Amino acid sequence: MYYKKIPLIYLINNFKYKNKKILYETILNIEEYLKYGIINLDKPSNPSSHEVVSWIRKILRCEKTGHSGTLDPKVTGVLLVCLNRATRLVKSQQESGKEYVCVCKFHSKPKSIEEVKLVLNNFQGAIFQRPPLICAVKRQLRVRTIYDSKLLDYDETNNVCVFWVKCQAGTYIRTLCEHIGLLLGVGAHMQELRRVKSGNMTEYDNMCTLHDILDAQYIYDTTGDESYLRKIITPLEKLLINFPRIVIKDSAVNAICYGAKLTIPGVLRFDNNIDVNTEIVIMTTKGEAVALAIAQMTSTVIATVDHGVVSLTKRVIMDRDTYDVKWGFGNRSMEKKKLILAGLLDKYGKPNEKTPLSWIKSEGYAPKLIGTNTTNYNLDIQNHNTVNENNNNNKIEKNNLTTSTINTNINDQISEGNKNQNENAEKSDSSDLKKKKKRKT
């Protein structure tokens, strides 16, 4: 089939690599395709976004579905539906920018087209908005940003204009139309609205309808032909092509899936535009998205250092144990396990009084000392040794004190016992004498 020639290349394309290891592409089976897939749906008018998503879940028999940004029932256009594991990207896609094409109806005729264009240009940047009465949210004043807008068409006879707007997520176009009518002094309301772009997915990127999804699933169930399902479902990596990327080793993938931090030894390649505290995508050599993370180093720092934390895992996408467990098999880990078994480290792997000096001097045990002066490093080691010696001396002194106190306590108890015996003997003698005197009398 034709789809077997299509690799998973969304995160591999347009990526400048750092080292020379060759990346290889992979083809997912249909179960994995559904597990990590998204659908660019052309939402119909009248049903709500929640209803549409629930219908798709029943048609495809998915465990979970979610959408990236609610559309009102009368609004049509791009609605990204995430399937199964792809629902972990819903929150990041809900905050991405949106683009709309709106039909605005004026209540009376404006003065000129130039005035309409001028008012549209004035609504660029940060604006105040209050949600309309029709929306089922708290009507609270909020700030939203409009990045760009353009008048597409104007009908003077019907007092209708069509304009395009690029705005922040959560912007109410219905409220924007009312504000445009207020500034023009003629009044206006929104007549029709269509979303043409959500994030980096447009209405030209593999868009499908509910009927297409139903037909594709029916063909797969009856004939086993999965080509139609592959046409309507897109891998979730398509949503992440705008993020900076880091390619990691296969041995580090499962650790990231368990929430571990990404360190320098696990990095193979990386983008040149990574800054501190920016959101990045961690990917495998096959182009599979592993997790979203927050960068802790810039690209230049990653290229120069040989140790340290590269990123903190924010949201894991891949299932656990998809790759084999590879942590705990290195030279350092094996040596640490031997020391724990020998009693030279405690059960948590921390040093005790028996820990050898060579282990304490190593970089793996004392990362805070790396990069400091050698004099400070030697002083810290000497302090460690003196502390251990003092602890041993204190223990010996404590043992001597405890033995001496025990001996004194025993002697005191013996002397007290002798005194008590003498007193009891004297009392018994006096009582016998009294009894004899009474008998004589």
What is the percentage of the chain residues whose pLDDT exceeds 90?
Answer: 38
Average pLDDT over residues 321-349: 85
Task: Return the pLDDT at 366.
Answer: 46
The alpha carbon of residue 417 and the mean position of all alpha carbons in its chain are separated, in whole angstroms, by: 73
Average pLDDT over residues 168-187: 90
Average pLDDT over residues 403-411: 56
Residue 51: CB atoms within 10 A of its CB come to 11
| pLDDT bracket for residue 221 (50, 70, 90) | very high
pLDDT higher than threshold 80 for residue 245: yes
pLDDT higher than threshold 60 for residue 308: yes
| Residue range 94-104, pLDDT digits in tens | 778 899 999 99
Average pLDDT over residues 279-300: 92
Task: Return the pLDDT at 379.
Answer: 46
Task: Return the pLDDT at 438.
Answer: 54
Average pLDDT over residues 221-229: 92
Average pLDDT over residues 84-94: 84
Our answer to whether residue 432 is catalytic in this structure is no
| Residue range 141-162, pLDDT digits in tens | 888 899 999 999 998 889 999 9
> What tokens were used for 228?
């139609």
Average pLDDT over residues 354-367: 68
| C-alpha–C-alpha distance, residues 441 and 431, integer Å | 16
Of the candidates 168, 185, 194, 192, the residue with the CA atom closest to the CA atom of residue 116: 185
pLDDT higher than threshold 90 for residue 220: yes
pLDDT: is 361 or 175 the higher one? 175
Which class is 97-198 in CATH? alpha beta
| C-alpha–C-alpha distance, residues 217 and 224, integer Å | 9
What is the percentage of the chain residues whose pLDDT exceeds 70?
Answer: 75
Average pLDDT over residues 159-176: 90
Task: Return the pLDDT at 411.
Answer: 60
Average pLDDT over residues 107-127: 89
pLDDT: is 148 or 392 the higher one? 148
pLDDT higher than threshold 60 for residue 386: no
Task: Return the pLDDT at 164.
Answer: 94
Task: Return the pLDDT at 348.
Answer: 85
Task: Return the pLDDT at 218.
Answer: 95
Task: Return the pLDDT at 404.
Answer: 58
Average pLDDT over residues 348-367: 73
User: Contact 245/264 with Cβ under 8 angstroms?
Assistant: no
Mean pLDDT of the chain: 80
Task: Return the pLDDT at 211.
Answer: 94
The residues spanned by each domain of the chain are 97-198, 331-369, 372-441
Task: Return the pLDDT at 357.
Answer: 83
| Residue range 203-215, pLDDT digits in tens | 998 899 999 999 9
List the catalytic residue out of 42, 72, 275, 324. Answer: 72
The strand pairing partners of 143, in sequence order, are 128
pLDDT higher than threshold 80 for residue 20: no
Task: Return the pLDDT at 313.
Answer: 94
Give the torsion through C-alpha atoms of 308, 310, 313, 317, to 10 deg. -130
